[in-house]
Copies of this chain bind each other. A is one copy, B any other.
Amino acid sequence: MTNSNITITGYETRDIRFPTSKHLDGSDAMNKDPDYSAAYVIFHTNAGIEGHGLTFTIGRGNEICVAAIKALAPKFVGKTLAELTVNMRDTWRILTGDSQLRWIGPEKGVIHLSTGAVINAIWDLWAKAEGKPLWKLVVDMSPEDLVNSIDFRYISDAITPEEALAILKKNEPTKAVREAEMREHGYPAYTTSIGWLGYSEEKVRELCRDAIAEGWTHFKQKVGGNLEQDIQRARLIREEIGADAYLMMDANQVWDVQQAIDWMQPLLEFKPYWIEEPTSPDDILGHATIRKVLSPHTKIATGEHIQNRVIFKQLFQAKAIDFCQIDSCRVGGVNEVLSILLMAKKFGVPVCPHSGGVGLCEYTQHLAILNYIVISASNDNCVLEFVDHLHEHFVDPVRMKGGRYVAPTMPGYSIEMKKESISAYEFPLGKVHK
């Protein structure tokens, strides 16, 4: 069947929640008891294939994202895949350009989280129809088509379509080499599983030892709850991982600007590779100030809560961050991620996507790989977060090997959940919640 014969016949959306707060997986100074959740959408077609997408939340409010999916998804019903993919920028704007829905964003928060789910379901469908994993679909796009999937509105003062095209064209002759490398060796990762705030000292030691045995070289610690405990925990982890391994710290937005600077002083002795989310994700100038003071003793990372390309643009312009941690769900899907990757390349900021949660690793492996092959063309300092839970619910879960993500090969965006998981974890009536 050709894409012009594949018609979207309908959609369904589900509120899926995993009761992860029971074991304090994912606990940090800001997010004390997350129940990893997904506002999930499935597009049905006349062709026997489906497009799946989700946005990640941490529990309450997931139903609000489902309500937003209901406002967005019907816009694609009745359209053919060919119509939707001939110009992905126009297709994206069908969602972000609704003149009434725009008011409750624009391009931020609930409506944008759900935009990501809906547009990513189209990317998933397209990749399946082409018989390729998502990363390969994008890698095979012509530079022109890739640029045509991006909305340059509000970022043209930082990057023009012509500049984006030039980046892609420059990388084109060598991309086959990098693709082969990714297929053979996979993408380097780091682990957050060791350092959740709610874990006991013994549990952290044990997890460190397991992780080292598995080949990990980068480790992340949650900070910002209690300074004495942060220092103690940092000492403990350094004891376990040694002086040469990378130790990252993550404050999950708990500090004000001056507080971030003060709190980090006694932690610098443990040589944190970066401090992540030191303050509000909306505070571009605040991040710039913190970076100015803490540099070069540590680096500044943020991104999981950055709402869209306009804020990322300014973080780059203001030299506010050393690492760009795009989130696959928070910004508006693959289209907007591509615009951010291109800006990161132009401004020379390495991209280390935020991952974990439920489904984020499945999504971000594609983004990290395609970034390396067609945009960044370099992997200096780049590592992709890995958290080892909830992968068992996916049809095509991530596979890890020696601390690296194995490049996915199954067609699609790897986000399709098993039918039995969807049914068991649906909130509030699935059997897990009863």
Contact = CB atoms under 8 A, between A and B. Distances in A.
Contact of A99 (B30, B156, B256, B283): B30
Interface stretch (A46-54, A305-313, A418-426): A305-313
A308 B282 contact: yes
Nearest to A68: B64
A77 interface: no
Interface string A272-293: 0000000111111110010000
Interface stretch (A32-40, A196-204, A230-238, A363-371): A32-40
Interface in A193-214: none
Interface in A85-131: 98-113
A99 B34 contact: yes
Interface stretch (A55-63, A164-172, A382-390): A55-63
A35 B65 CA distance: 22
A245 interface: no
A80 interface: no
A71 interface: yes
Nearest to A153: B256
Chain A's interface size range is 35 or more
Interface in A126-170: 152-157
Contacts of A429: none
Interface string A256-279: 111100000000000000000001
A349 interface: no
Given A64-B67, A108-B108, A157 B103 contact: no
Contacts of A103: 31, 34, 57-59, 61
A112 B381 CA distance: 36
Interface in A3-51: 30-35
A318 interface: yes
A108 B64 contact: no
A280 B307 CA distance: 13
Contact of A256 (B154, B314, B318): B154
A217 interface: no
Contact of A285 (B61, B98, B317): B317
Contacts of A257: 156-157
B157 A286 contact: yes
A273 B366 CA distance: 50
Contacts of A102: 30-31
Given A64-B67, A109-B105, A156 B32 contact: no
A104 B57 contact: yes
B110 A68 contact: yes
A58 B101 CA distance: 8
A227 to B, nearest CB: 18
Nearest to A97: B30
24 contacts: A30-B99, A31-B100, A34-B103, A35-B100, A57-B104, A60-B71, A60-B98, A60-B100, A61-B100, A64-B71, A67-B67, A68-B110, A104-B113, A106-B253, A109-B111, A109-B307, A110-B111, A154-B286, A157-B286, A157-B289, A282-B308, A284-B284, A285-B314, A285-B318
